Amino acid sequence: MHLLVLNGPNLNRLGTRETDIYGLRSLEDLALGLRNAFPEVEIEFAQHNSEGALIDALHNADALMTQGVVFNPGAYGHTSIALRDAIAAMETPVVEVHISNVYAREGFRQTMLLSPVCAGVITGFGMGGYHLAVQYLKDHTGSKPRG
Ligand code: DQA
């Protein structure tokens, strides 16, 4: 099984960025942790700060028949109609993950433009959210439930 773990803007700075909110673990720590926890899954990691590069990564994942995408869109989750349109057009299921509990934060973070077109959303469980998302995709490969 092949999955993509895709991270959006500013998440390359995990481990040093607002550590009271996002913790001390880096993206490299996340990759190591996921590879250790799911040795049977081929997990590709990517991080982009720009919206266009994230859209290209989603298009590629769909074209290459990646079986699932775990996506932390960062702040674009609250703003990007273009990313929402990209996900809505995909066959590959996308699980949206946020490290922090966006519903416990500022009001502008509670606009979730991508969530309605994702298979599900995990928010507030720290890095553990990525593990839950990979587990879900392992258990439910197939078409993306919408609603
Ligand atoms: C985030 C939450 C977003 O609101 C924020 O802009 C981020 C990180 C999270 O993982 O908690 O960059 O996606």
Distance CA 124, CA 145 (A): 22
Centre of ligand 1 from the C-alpha of residue 87, in Å: 18
Task: Say if residue 106 is exposed, middle or buried (CB neighbours under 10 Å; 0-12, 13-18, 19+).
Answer: exposed
Atom nearest to 109 CA in ligand 1: 4
Atom nearest to 8 CA in ligand 1: 12
Is residue 75 lining ligand 1, measured as CB closer than 6 Å? yes
Which CATH superfamily is 2-141 part of? Dehydroquinase, class II (3.40.50.9100)
User: pTM surpassing 0.85?
Assistant: yes
Is residue 100 lining ligand 1, measured as CB closer than 6 Å? yes
Per-residue pLDDT of the chain (147 residues; tens, 9 = 90+): 999 999 999 999 999 999 999 999 999 999 999 999 999 999 999 999 999 999 999 999 999 999 999 999 999 999 999 999 999 999 999 999 999 999 999 999 999 999 999 999 999 999 999 999 999 999 998 444 423
The residue whose CB lies within 8 Å of the most ligand 1 atoms, and thus the one to mutate among 100, 122, 123, is 100
Distance CA 123, CA 103 (A): 8
Distance CA 114, CA 72 (A): 10
Catalytic center residues: 22, 98
